[in-house]
Amino acid sequence: MTIVTDIQPETRAKRLKAATTAAHEVVDTTVMSAQPFASRVNYERFLRFQYRLHRHVEPLYAAPAFQPLLPDLAERSRLDALEQDFADLGLTPPAADFGPERPLAEALGWLYVVEGSNMGAAFLAKDAAKIGFSSEFGARHLAGHVEGRGLHWRRFTAGLDSVELTEAEEREAEAAATRAFNHVLEIVRQEML
Ligand code: HEM
């Protein structure tokens, strides 16, 4: 008889979600408390936060070694869309450094957080539309993929779940996802509060 003692969710994507649900809640509440869609000025602050986050993770989206593991990884980057959003508004993006390259396990945690944010973006895109920003003007980075947000996300999590990691790396990916949310919170506070 097999005694099952591991009550962790069976997929990596679900484990990452479980490890970061509380952190997501704090980020969600903090972003919304800054009323990003209450005015154009507030929306510009929100764009600066998004731009800094996407600059930070761009080296992970672009890393040649990760391309075979995660479907369409380089094309998933929303950095170009953000640059277009700034151009639409007649603005220059803020100075923002690229973040570091990271080992695979850590990178998976960070990429989970930033790719997942495109799911919540469905709700943010609706609010942005109320102040005139859309997938064609000013809120391009919040747009869903042409194949649909859900399918695009499931294709990502299928790749994420298929990467072979050791137990130690598994924990590293979870810790990295939490650090990613902490980083998000820090730049939200700097740019939006
Ligand atoms: C006010 C801002 C936000 C709101 C209202 C929000 C809301 C949501 C909602 C409703 C979902 C679930 C979507 C679904 O399953 O259909 C979601 C998923 C997610 N969001 Fe957010 N979100 C916000 C900001 C963010 C930010 C800034 C990040 C990270 C950069 C983030 C990361 C994620 C992740 C990783 C998921 C996927 C969770 C999973 O199913 O594994 N969210 N968000």
* Per-residue pLDDT of the chain in tens (193 residues, 90 and over written 9): 555 555 788 999 999 999 999 999 999 999 999 999 999 999 999 999 999 999 999 999 999 999 999 999 999 999 999 999 999 999 999 999 999 999 999 999 999 999 999 999 999 999 999 999 999 999 999 999 999 999 999 999 999 999 999 999 999 999 999 999 999 999 999 999 9
Please tell me whether residue 137 adopts helix, strand or coil conformation. strand
Compute, in angstroms, the gap from residue 69 CA to the centroid of ligand 1.
23
Q: What angle do CA 56, 59, 61 make, to 5 degrees?
A: 100
Query: 43-192 architecture in CATH?
Result: Up-down Bundle (1.20)
Q: What is the 114 CA–ligand 1 centroid distance (Å)? A: 9
Per-residue pLDDT, 8: 80
Residue nearest ligand 1's atom 14 by CA: 119
Contacts of 136 (CB under 8 A, 6+ apart): none
pLDDT of amino acid 3 = 56
At residue 68, the pLDDT reads 98
Distance from the alpha carbon of residue 27 to the mean position of ligand 1, in angstroms: 9
Nearest CA to ligand 1 atom 39: 17
Q: What is the SS3 assignment for 138? A: strand
Classified as helix, coil or strand, 151 is helix
**Residue with CA closest to ligand 1 atom 3:** 28
Q: Which two tokens stand for residue 87?
A: 């151009």
* Dist. CA 4 → ligand 1 center (Å): 31
- The dihedral sign for the CA sequence 106, 171, 188, 50: positive
